[in-house]
Amino acid sequence: MRKTKLIFVLALAVLASLLAVGVATGATADPTIRASAKLRNAVEPAGILVHERRLQRIANAGTDPDGDGVGTRASGTPGYDASADYVAGKLEEAGYNVRRQTFNFPYFGELSSSFSQTAPRQRDFEPSDYDVMTYSGSGTVEDALVVPTNDVQIPPDPTPGTSDSGCEPGDFEPASTTEDEVALIQRGTCDFAVKAQNAEAAGYDAVIIFNEGQEDVPGDDRVGVVLGTLGEPGVGIPVIGISFALGEELYEADGAKVSIDVETESEIRQTENVIADTTSGRKNRTIVVGSHLDSVPEGPGINDNGSGTATDLEVALQMAKLGIEPKNRVRFAFWGAEEFNLLGSEHYVASLSDDALDRIALNLNFDMLASPNFVRFVYDGDGSATPDDTTDAGPAGSAQIERTFKRYFEAKGLKTDPTAFDGRSDYGPFIAEGIPAGGLFSGAEGVKTARQQRIYGGNAGEPYDPCYHQPCDDISNLSIKSLDQLSDGVAHATFTYANDEELFGASSDGARSLARTYNEYKGPEAIK
């Protein structure tokens, strides 16, 4: 009896050990994961941080547009030019074929601003309580009456993007011709520019756009301060964004009045994309690995998007150091003027002929990889996480890219969340041409949910990056854990597609000619 029991116990132990071996080796069972190991092991946070610290020093020595003591790497400033010099120099030293594609763009900078409420109570707001929208006009309004537009939804509709406040000229009461008045508009279905243009046409002296109000919207902040762009110059009055809570207060207050003072500059400046090609690989199956090099004018942009820039640069340098000769040409692209509505990637794509577009097999995009309150977001290539919005599915091949990332993280025992193709980063111009795309994202101004806190840690109810588009996005604003995990995903996907002889299972499936056209993309923060 005791001997039989002992044998049984030993058998269970052996079985358990075999199962443990199975689990332990599961991460290396996928041959593509084994193949990318050498590059992944070479791409380490320590190397990435070398580039991040250099970008911080460049910002420190660069332009301080609003005099707050914080430098910037925004396109059109010396900080961006120095960033481009650094990246291009490193790539040239590593043996890449580097070219610098210059273009003109409408620069925007906020020189100064203030915002206060004067009635029915007096209070001065901090810069963190509001945001001057990109391409806002300049102007001063004092003790101005706040006039809500029609179609404001308080309480908000449960479905995000349903308020059409300010989207039609008829949403505005005729403005006073003798006193300053400010239009109060809710975020919703149409572009911020449309709302602002309608308000200006109706005679208002300034615009306040407040958030829509839905809580726990994955990957999107519908409650906090609206951070937006008007897309291009053209609106001549001040336009600021505020939170839903403050908007609700102003909406419900009897005779609310505010003072707004905004000084901005808009002018045509020159900037550039830095593009580096491997010297080997099939040119008719080019893999474009992209990240935007610029910051917003407000700060150094060490997470947004120094983290993507530094990671892509380190992947490129380590590929060269290891002597990796890819079967498909890899093009590392560092985009300018992304923060001014994807202008660098748009210019690049628009400059290509049909034949040149057909030679691009896919685009991998990495925009923010080290958010302090991070989530491991993977772009939802097949749109399955957003089944009610068909425009959020990428072109054919995007689903396969999504699966490549998900299988990698699953093999490593790491969960991921989907993020939609909403057009907020440089994949937008590529998918607009039917080129499949995918990538990783650690989160921006969106608020972490309780479910995400259980999976990833961090703090529910707070932004993924509390310093998003702010001066505090500096070298201290990084999660090394996120950078470590997501940079491995970057290295794995880059290596996998660089050496995939039959992209997506067929030699031509990745080409633009067989990919369906993406319906429509929108620029970053321009809508809803």
Which residues are annotated as catalytic?
A: 338
Between the CA of residue 241 and those of 14, 167, 206, 208, 469, what are the distances in Å? 63, 16, 11, 6, 13
Q: Please, what sign has the CA dihedral across residues 506, 509, 514, 518?
A: positive
Pairing state between β 328-335 and 257-277: antiparallel
How far apart, in whole angstroms, are the C-alpha atoms of residue 125 and residue 114?
Answer: 8
- Torsion angles phi and psi, residue 313, rounded to 5: -65, -45
CB 246 within 8 A of CB 129: yes
User: Residue 287's beta-bridge partner residues?
Assistant: 330, 362
Nearby residues of 13 by Cβ (< 8 Å), 6 or more positions away: none
Pairing state between β 257-277 and 139-148: antiparallel
CA angle 61, 66, 67 (to 5 degrees): 65
How far apart, in whole angstroms, are the C-alpha atoms of residue 315 and residue 44?
Answer: 9
How far apart, in whole angstroms, are the C-alpha atoms of residue 446 and residue 436?
Answer: 25
DSSP label of 202: T
Q: For 384-479, where are the alpha helices, taking DSSP H only?
A: 398-411, 428-432, 450-456
How far apart, in whole angstroms, are the C-alpha atoms of residue 485 and residue 40?
Answer: 10
CB 235 within 8 A of CB 196: yes
Nearby residues of 509 by Cβ (< 8 Å), 6 or more positions away: 396, 397, 503
User: Residue 186's beta-bridge partner residues?
Assistant: 210
